[in-house]
Amino acid sequence: MFFLDHIWLIPLFPAFGAAMMFFFGRRLQKATVSAVCVGVVVLAFLFACFTVVEYTHFAHGTGRPFERIIYTWLGSGDGHLNFLKRDGTLASFNADAGFLLDPLSSIWLLFVTGVGMLIHIYSTGYMAHEGGYYRFFGYMNLFMFTMLTLILANNYMLLFVGWEGVGLCSYLLIGFYFHRKSASDAANKAFIVNRIGDAGFILGALTLAWYLGSFRFTDINTLARSGHFVIGDPVLTIAALLLFVGACGKSAQIPLYVWLPDAMEGPTPVSALIHAATMVTAGVYMVARSNAIFVLAPTAMKTVAIIGALTAVFAASIALVQNDIKRVLAYSTVSQLGYMFLALGVGAFAAGVFHVFTHAFFKALLFLGAGSVIHALSGEQDMRNMGSLRGRIPTTYKTMFIATLAIAGIPPLAGFFSKDEILWQAYRSAYGSFPYLWLIGFGTALMTAFYMARLIFLTFYGQPRMSHEVEHHIHESPKSMTGPLVVLAIGSVCAGWLGVPASLGGTNAFGKFLEPVFAREVAVAPAEPQEPAGEEHRGLEWTLMLLSVGAAVVGGGWAHHYYAKAGKDYPEPIAVQAPPLYTALYNKWFVDEAYDYAFTGRRKIGDIRLGAMGAGEASSWFDAKIIDGSVNDVGWVTRAVATLSIWWDKWIIDGLGVNGPAILARMISYPARLFEWGLVQWYALVMVAGLLGFGVYYVWK
């Protein structure tokens, strides 16, 4: 039990690496940086492997979760942080720094550390000549830390910490080349769009706590499966939908997918690790983790399935005509994530998780291969300037070819098993039959094969279209880069064999392993109970499989026909056949422009500006005209009253009341003043005259 008891060390390894880079990175040699940062991830991977092995012994095939609480992080259980639940009872707000290991998190733990390790090794080669080496690895380690926190959290709050952490790392790494405006814009876009999702996520988690009284997955699952709640419970539906908003942000689903293609501004290993293999699957993880809630909310499930299917086909259609090699892969990622949500939405949780697992291998491989191509071509990303690289970088070519076969769904490679499982479940799952969703998925499979084959043919076949200078420098990548490619290629071939369906004589070990996580202790009655993959459906399942393999072959064949011999100025078939459609696809259906009109307000409709900037302008107008206007009006009234008051004071009070009598007195007293001229001798003279007058008067009398 040593490893299980010390499960908390797994995230701490990369955290240590990140801390080292933060404090000492600037002073370390590149070799030391590589040793520390790759070393801690290798340690985390080994530790994770042993932990999962121990866990399988611990669980003994029952899939019982292993939970270890390190300390109480929020609240304290003794009632310090109480809140009223919806039913009026008091619950205590409690979230622990606790770790939960069950089959679901085991799978994520293994492929996150495994693929993460390979990409770290690859990065030592890819980033060898870049500035900010220690910064890059510090962020990568920080990402590993937060991603592992997200995966291993035992409650929504701690999961949210990881959730925000990976968002932050994503932001930092997209903006790694921060001197480039486009990179910092893309980083901002990713962060802001994710924030919309995060708001949904936290509201969903709080709604659950308000309703169920806990953040802990185990508590919530037990409660949700206890049978106290009816299917279609409105509060749970709202909570599930809010959680799905969060998943839409993180996992790039319509309508919040717009940040992921722009995220390709980051270094290619980042695109491989964060924006293809691991972080973007966090939404899938979270929905799968909340499966007990989702199955009680059929509306939310249906929403998930429809959004997933639409995203899959929508993104795939854009990928058909993009010329930037990383952008094709980015839209491919969005499309594959759509598949995963389609699976979750039709209740095929295990199939969705399986696709996450296989996708991590081949999509990481595709991105790393693309990175290797870009590395070989001195930074060129435009496929119009590639071609005929097959013989020049053979290892990259071979591994990418395998990955393309895998994603296109050619048996017996990984993508075939996971994708067909999803398509089959969409067609006929325990929760109902959705042939139209199958049809969308089928069309997406056709497009996937086409755009992936197009990528391979434009890059590795045809005639060389790069400049002579670039051509002169073409070289196969170093061992540190090709090594991970080979390992991932092996994974892309073999990962699917873990989940060979029963219809093909397999045991679907992967699905069995996950079963306890998605088990219904209380039977959830589907609309019409059905037994999936029963004997009677085997023929149908095989037919669908053959159809999707056929679609892959046809899609690849078309691409071969149009692009295999592409020379300079090769024609785009869609541009030739349907120019308006090509324009729409090439400009990504003008979604960014539409968002600029509707949400950001960067563009005006006529004279009207909507969205955030529109709201800004409107509130600015409101502030200037209404708030300040009424302040000014009140001021004007005050001033008018004051003016009147001044006039009253000056003319009536001072004038009539005070100065008036004074003036009157002055006028009346004027004659008296005339006697007083201030010369003492005159006064004396008057006195003398008066005395003489009196004297004369008395003498004469």
Partner 1 sequence: MVPITALHYLVVAAALFVLGVIGVLTRRNVVIVLMSIELILNAVNLNLVAFSRMWGNLHGQVFAIFIIVDAAAEAAAGLGILIAFFRNKETVNVDEIDLLKW
Minimum distance from residue 641 beta carbon to partner 1 (Å): 41
Q: Is 684 in the site for partner 1 (CB under 8 A)?
A: yes
Minimum distance from residue 674 beta carbon to partner 1 (Å): 10
Residue in the structure block whose two tokens are 């952490």: 165
Size, binding site for partner 1 by CB under 8 A: 11
Of residues 598 and 685, the one with the C-beta less far from partner 1: 685
Residue in the structure block whose two tokens are 């988690």: 205
Minimum distance from residue 677 beta carbon to partner 1 (Å): 6
CA distances from 175 to 167, 265, 340, 516 (A): 12, 7, 28, 40
Minimum distance from residue 627 beta carbon to partner 1 (Å): 59
- Decide if 418 contacts 351 (C-beta within 8 A): yes
Instruction: Provide the 3-class DSSP secondary structure of residue 532.
Output: coil
Residue 256: which residues within 8 A CB-CB, separation 6 or more?
193, 194, 196, 197, 245, 248, 249
Of residues 642 and 684, the one with the C-beta less far from partner 1: 684
Angle made by CA atoms 359, 294, 316, in degrees to the nearest 5: 35
Minimum distance from residue 635 beta carbon to partner 1 (Å): 47
- Alpha-carbon gap, residue 604 to 597, rounded angstroms: 6
Minimum distance from residue 686 beta carbon to partner 1 (Å): 10
Of residues 527 and 679, the one with the C-beta less far from partner 1: 679
Q: Is 522 in the site for partner 1 (CB under 8 A)?
A: no
Taking phi first (over 0 means left), then psi (-120 to 50 degrees means alpha), and beta for anything else, what does residue 676 get? beta
Of residues 626 and 686, the one with the C-beta less far from partner 1: 686
- 170 burial (CB, 10 Å; 0-12 / 13-18 / 19+) is buried
Number of other residues whose CB lies within 10 A of the CB of residue 652: 11
Q: What is the DSSP letter of 381?
A: -
Minimum distance from residue 646 beta carbon to partner 1 (Å): 32
Q: List the interface residues with partner 1, window 354-393 (CB under 8 A).
A: none
CA distances from 346 to 49, 295, 426, 434, 671 (A): 31, 10, 6, 8, 115
Of residues 626 and 684, the one with the C-beta less far from partner 1: 684
Q: Which two tokens stand for residue 52?
A: 């999962």
Of residues 527 and 672, the one with the C-beta less far from partner 1: 672
- For 420, list phi and psi in degrees, rounded to 5: -70, -30
Q: List the interface residues with partner 1, window 642-681 (CB under 8 A).
A: 673, 676-681
CA distances from 66 to 5, 48, 59, 145, 494 (A): 10, 14, 8, 20, 28
Of residues 594 and 685, the one with the C-beta less far from partner 1: 685
- Alpha-carbon gap, residue 584 to 441, rounded angstroms: 21
Displacement of CA 518 from its chain's centroid (Å) = 25
Minimum distance from residue 672 beta carbon to partner 1 (Å): 11
Of residues 630 and 669, the one with the C-beta less far from partner 1: 669
Choose, by CB under 8 A, the member of 522, 634, 688, 696 that binds partner 1.
688
Minimum distance from residue 655 beta carbon to partner 1 (Å): 24
Residue 180: which residues within 8 A CB-CB, separation 6 or more?
265
Angle made by CA atoms 461, 465, 466, in degrees to the nearest 5: 120
Q: Is the dihedral of CA 694, 697, 699, 701 positive or negative?
A: negative
Minimum distance from residue 647 beta carbon to partner 1 (Å): 33
Of residues 606 and 678, the one with the C-beta less far from partner 1: 678
264-302 burial, b if ≥16 CB within 10 A, otherwise e? bbbbbbbbbbbbbbbbbbbbbbbbbbbbbbbbbbbebbb
- Decide if 653 contacts 644 (C-beta within 8 A): no
Q: List the interface residues with partner 1, window 279-338 (CB under 8 A).
A: none
Q: Is 637 in the site for partner 1 (CB under 8 A)?
A: no
Choose, by CB under 8 A, the member of 626, 627, 685, 696 that binds partner 1.
685
Of residues 525 and 672, the one with the C-beta less far from partner 1: 672
Minimum distance from residue 680 beta carbon to partner 1 (Å): 6
Q: What angle do the packed helices 479-494 and 349-376 form, to 10 degrees? A: 150
Of residues 230 and 679, the one with the C-beta less far from partner 1: 679
79-99 burial, b if ≥16 CB within 10 A, otherwise e? eeeeeeeeeeeebebbbbbbb
Q: What is the 3-state secondary structure (H, E, C) of 275-312?
A: HHHCHHHHHHHHHHHCHHHHCCCHHHHHHHHHHHHHHH
Of residues 379 and 678, the one with the C-beta less far from partner 1: 678
Minimum distance from residue 683 beta carbon to partner 1 (Å): 8
Minimum distance from residue 671 beta carbon to partner 1 (Å): 14
CA distances from 58 to 2, 8, 103, 250, 631 (A): 12, 17, 12, 32, 71
Of residues 70 and 684, the one with the C-beta less far from partner 1: 684
Of residues 31 and 699, the one with the C-beta less far from partner 1: 699
Binding site for partner 1 (CB under 8 A): 673, 676-681, 683-685, 688
